Structure 1
């Protein structure tokens, strides 16, 4: 009996111990096997020294790598789509200004405009000098009567017609000056205008000097000749410059500046620039300017102040110079083309100097001559930068 109880007690103790072992046993991860000199793998288990321990390291499948790569790609694509949606929703995040020197194809270069202005001013002063010189060579009306002119044969002289010409010219020049002030690219357009004024009046100096025509009518009253009085000629030059070369100011009392008409040059050139640099919606304004120019040119002939050939040559030279210049300026491919015959003009080097950095046609864009204060702008449109919205959803 005692032996039986002893055996039963031992079995209970074994059962309790077995349950304790079952609860307390933990599985530790095996260290990756590594090679030893005898070529067998050894781990951290007690039986690692034998070769009966199987290698439980899982092998990577190639499909698993593709799955993980595609999963990463899909995550990145979802992130890009969410960022794109956020940018479309909040499209006014930040405006980053780009340096003007790298992207601006219409640089201002005011110093070139200054060079063109000096060129025009020099030729205008030279014109007054040539007029003073030519005046001394004009033949007397009694010796050389006016040349026959077909327009004069059919249209009688109207005394006040030339006053209309000069008034129209001043109005056109004033309109063009105001329009030029409000143009955004006024530096480029200004030097084009100065170049053409200087070139046209230089041509006029040549034609006046080489051929001196008699007065077109008996109504002309020319100032007396000075016969070598240099001081008197200087005062005449200054008087002509101060009065702008206009008859209504009383400054133009000399004769001989007939071939070709300077008034026609001014009227034609002012209208061509107004037409070229005006928006298409301003058709009525352009038409009125054309009317002022046309009436002014016709009144030159009605007043018998110039021969018809003076007006025709002036219009022809002015319009062709304007169109040739702008054709070369607006067509960049012509500048370096070997078959560009317009590049054979004598003024092509000056053109390349003025238009070297202008790589695109100049658009008709208006802007304020001076920067407006930011307080005048509605909703702060004058600011260069737009702030990032503070309530933007960061998760997007």
Structure 2
């Protein structure tokens, strides 16, 4: 029996441990409480195959609080930076060199594509349409508060960056066709009037409110076209491919028309697209991937705005689903659809 016991100890992981371990023709019985419980469990499943008890750990409920007060703070942050941008445009306008003394810088796109006068109107019309589409989609989103504060924070940050870049480097006008408003040379009251005029006309050329120069690096029109498209795609059902394609065509056409109209240098558009898309992806990676969001060793948490991110997203413990409902309570219930995530989030979840 000593030999049998020794052989049983050498084979503790045999797949037939519940019935005994074969040792040269003999069977080593295993009298284990776990084995007996396993037998009873198998017998119970044989009698009740339609009922399987699944234990769900407590404390794993999805938390997506609205927290409207945070959304209002993000809105005021965006509004402040938009007003700051108009002030900075007025300041930079006084520093733009005259086009007679400082001609436009060489640009490869301008070398091959002649200017089209009406192209910039297409850009601004497409931009207004995309902003209208996104605002409508955001209003009908079930979690409009969370989505809204993300949009306001990113927009405010992008325009704050734009204030910095246009102030530290003032480029000459990109084309001899541009007509800049006369300089005021220290007239503070007239400068304030220009700021108010820019704000009232949303900074658009088609409204006649934007006649100043110097706000070239980087392109604010490209920021809005890119940002609205990215939010439209991220927070709409993945099955709406035609909707995404239509919005992408409008955004891409608007960006190309900026260059065709010779209203910005090519570098203005490229830098604007790069900063907007990177900031959008960084923020949503931190928001959607809990391992990144909660890990202090993640390099994405080293951004200067990480404390603001933690403040806005602290109580959002799950990815925001694409769920839509009426903004008031009396219409029918909400309709839910799966949302399309970008590749980085999907790859982490699949792993």
Q: TM-score range by the shorter chain?
A: 0.7 to 0.9
> For residues 2-43 of structure 1, what are the alpha-carbon distances to aligned partners after superposition, in whole Å with 9 as ceiling and x for unaligned?
xxxxxxxxxxxxxxxxxxxxxxxxxxxxxxxxxxxxxxxxxx
Q: Secondary structure at the match of 1:140?
A: coil
Q: TM-score, normalised by structure 1?
A: 0.69
Q: Secondary structure at the match of 1:338?
A: coil
Q: How does 1:250-289 map to 2 (within 5 A)?
A: 250-289=208-247
Structure 1 equivalent of residue 89 of structure 2 = 131
The CA deviation at 1:102 is 10
Structure 1 equivalent of residue 169 of structure 2 = 211
CA distance in 2 between counterparts of 1:302 and 1:255 reads: 18
Structure 2 equivalent of residue 296 of structure 1 = 254
> For residues 142-169 of structure 1, what are the alpha-carbon distances to aligned partners after superposition, in whole Å with 9 as ceiling and x for unaligned?
1100000000000000000000000000
CA distance in 1 between counterparts of 2:194 and 2:254 reads: 26
Structure 1 equivalent of residue 203 of structure 2 = 245
The CA deviation at 1:334 is 1.1
The CA deviation at 1:338 is 3.5
Q: TM-score, normalised by structure 2?
A: 0.77
CA distance in 2 between counterparts of 1:205 and 1:266 reads: 15
CA distance in 2 between counterparts of 1:294 and 1:346 reads: 30
Q: Secondary structure at the match of 2:324?
A: coil
Structure 1 equivalent of residue 33 of structure 2 = none
Alignment: residue pair count? 280
User: Is the contact made by 2:62 and 2:317 (CA closer than 8 Å) also made in structure 1?
Assistant: no
> For residues 211-258 of structure 1, what are the alpha-carbon distances to aligned partners after superposition, in whole Å with 9 as ceiling and x for unaligned?
000000000000000000000000000000000000000000000000
Aligned with 2:299 (options 341, 358, 363): 341
Q: Secondary structure at the match of 1:129?
A: helix
CA distance in 1 between counterparts of 2:93 and 2:193 reads: 14
CA distance in 1 between counterparts of 2:213 and 2:257 reads: 19
The CA deviation at 1:103 is 4.7
Which blocks of at least 5 consecutive residues in structure 2 are unaligned? Answer: 1-47, 52-58, 335-351
Structure 1 equivalent of residue 319 of structure 2 = 361
Task: Please identify runs of 4+ aligned residues in structure 1 that moved more than 4 A.
Answer: 101-104
Larger Rg belongs to: 1
The CA deviation at 1:336 is 2.8
CA distance in 2 between counterparts of 1:368 and 1:164 reads: 32
The CA deviation at 1:339 is 2.6
